[in-house]
Chain A
Amino acid sequence: QVQLVESGGGVVQPGRSLRLSCAASGFTFSSYGMHWVRQAPGKGLEWVAVIWYDGSKKYYADSVKGRVTISRDNSKNTLYLQMNSLRAEDTALYYCVKGSGNYHTNWFDPWGQGTLVTVSS
């Protein structure tokens, strides 16, 4: 079955960087667009970024644009999120999510269990 396992979260000071990873298995990773979605403690879901199946296109939420880079290594079935200049408002549980198609995503399924990022001094 499809599995998405995030890692890399932790406590980081404001202004510092962090790289999240998502190990995928159970499907042909290189054939699907992949997303990061986050959820601040006690808050709703916020879409963060998408990368097309071949890495050729990437799109970001305005709230993270210029500070975050999504990437993937199809040879390792792994998705990444490089986060720079972290702010307190970036504190959230970050979910790795499989898109429904190679570039056009019509729905998000499944979701990983998430990795928690806490930005605090």
Chain B
Amino acid sequence: QSALTQPPSVSGSPGQSVTISCTGTSSDVGSYYRVSWYQQPPGTAPKLMIYEVNNRPSGIPHRFSGSKSGNTASLTISGLQAADEADYYCSSYTDTDTWVFGGGTKLTVL
């Protein structure tokens, strides 16, 4: 149950796009579409942003999108806004009926 690998930090200017990667293995990300992404501003509980690789829950802006290729999933945020500044976590189901999270990525809007 090793954590999925995310970059510790990414940054971008308002209006730009950023992509956060999430690398797992063939035992988790590579084998399942049960990959999701969560946003966690400081001092708050995580919030679902993307589910099943590339689906947005109701109320999540189209600026947030997800994808997957092989063992790596990605979250792309376009048209960056100051309000997007937060920690982002990916998660995947695994072949041992457990779940695993990424180490988290701190997004800074310059």
Same assembly: yes
Q: Are B98 and A107 in contact (CB under 8 A)?
A: no
Q: Are A108 and B89 in contact (CB under 8 A)?
A: no
A110 within 8 A of B: yes
* Per-residue A-contact encoding for B74-110, CB less than 8 Å = 1, 0 else: 0000000000000101010100111111111000000
Q: A106: which of B45, B93, B100 is its contact (CB, 8 Å)? A: B93
Our count of residue pairs bridging A and B at CB distance below 8 angstroms stands at 71
Q: Are B3 and A44 in contact (CB under 8 A)?
A: yes
Residues of B within 8 Å of A112, CB to CB, are 45
Q: Are A47 and B104 in contact (CB under 8 A)?
A: no
B: contact size bracket = 20 to 34
Residues of B within 8 Å of A106, CB to CB, are 33-34, 36, 51-52, 93
Q: B48: which of A57, A95, A110, A114 is its contact (CB, 8 Å)? A: A110
Residues of A within 8 Å of B91, CB to CB, are 45, 47, 107-108
* Bound CA–CA A114/B45 (angstroms): 8
- The minimal Cβ–Cβ distance linking A1 to chain B, given in whole angstroms, is 12
- Name the CB-closest residue of B to A44: B104
* Per-residue B-contact encoding for A93-120, CB less than 8 Å = 1, 0 else: 0010000100011111111111000000
- Name the CB-closest residue of A to B98: A59
A11 within 8 A of B: no
- The minimal Cβ–Cβ distance linking B66 to chain A, given in whole angstroms, is 11
Residues of A within 8 Å of B57, CB to CB, are 109
B63 within 8 A of A: no
* Bound CA–CA A50/B87 (angstroms): 24
Interface residues of A (CB under 8 A from B): 35, 37, 44-47, 50, 57, 59-63, 95, 100, 104-114
Beyond A44-B103, A45-B40, A107-B34, 8 additional pairs, beta carbon < 8 A: A45-B46, A45-B91, A46-B101, A47-B91, A47-B99, A57-B97, A105-B93, A106-B34
Between A and B, 9 residue pairs with Cβ closer than 8 Å are A44-B102, A45-B40, A45-B46, A61-B98, A106-B51, A107-B48, A108-B91, A109-B48, A110-B45
